[in-house]
């Protein structure tokens, strides 16, 4: 997959998810969008299996755009 993929989460879920991602050695960045109360985990260049793992982990909280 060539584009960046991002998933939004609440602040309360961010620490737990970050620990799970670090255990899997996945590269990501965390961003807070202006005016939003959620965080976006942004992932560069994912394989299909990594995307499926993230989709299961985050559920359907993918941020479009």
Which CATH number is 15's domain given?
3.30.70
How many distinct structural domains can be found in the chain?
Answer: 1
**What's the pTM value of the predicted model, to 2 decimals?**
0.80
User: Residue 52 is part of which domain span?
Assistant: 5-63
Structure tokens belonging to residue 41:
């985990």
Calculated CA dihedral for residues 23, 65, 9, 33, nearest 10 degrees = 110
Q: With the C-alpha atoms ordered 56, 58, 59, 62, is the resulting torsion angle positive or negative?
A: negative
Long-range CB contacts (< 8 A, 24+ apart) of 11-16? 11/37, 11/38, 11/39, 14/39, 14/41
Q: Strand pairing partners for 42?
A: 6, 29
> Over the stretch 12-63, which tens digit does the pLDDT of each residue have?
899 999 999 999 999 999 999 888 888 999 999 889 999 899 999 998 655 5
């Amino acid at each position: 997959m060539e584009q960046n993929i991002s998933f939004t989460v609440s602040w309360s879920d961010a620490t737990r998810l970050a620990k799970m991602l670090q255990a899997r050695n996945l590269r990501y960045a965390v961003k807070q969008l202006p005016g939003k109360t959620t965080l976006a985990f942004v992932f560069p260049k994912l394989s299909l299996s990594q995307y499926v793992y993230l989709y299961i982990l985050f559920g359907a909280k993918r941020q479009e755009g």
